[in-house]
Structure 1
């Protein structure tokens, strides 16, 4: 099975929020990137937002590899 591709996300954040994120990630023994992913997944799950499988998301983005 081939490894799934990942997308790069770059954004600006208040330094205090970044520090809170770093602390939360450390408590969970996660990287900051993985903590952001977990938070997004939890948010979507709580609100009934379906996250399509990676290959489906790629196909719907209009980007072809």
Structure 2
């Protein structure tokens, strides 16, 4: 089941990172946000970091 993507994120990155992300996403035929999400979830899986399916972002 697809999860709704309703949380906006913003961060600063180097021009090199931005280009690398664009090239990698294009190579994988994915959007940049989809590629980042895929990579982060795979990283967590490999490191044994449990991410609850019903996670909620806490407003601080």
Cα RMSD after superposing both structures? 2.1
If the length of structure 1 is used for normalisation, what is the TM-score? 0.74
If the length of structure 2 is used for normalisation, what is the TM-score? 0.80
**Greater length-normalized contact order (CA 8 Å, ≥ 6 residues apart):** 1
5+ residue gaps in structure 2? none
Task: Extract structure 1 runs of 4+ deviating beyond 3 A.
Answer: none
> Separation in 1 of the partners of 2:26 and 2:33?
12
Q: Greater Rg, structure 1 or structure 2?
A: 1
Does residue 24 of structure 1 match 2:24?
yes
Note closer, same or farther for the CA distance 1:21–1:5 as it changes in structure 2 (3 Å cut).
closer
- Which residue does 2:11 correspond to in 1? 11
Report how many aligned residue pairs link the two structures: 58
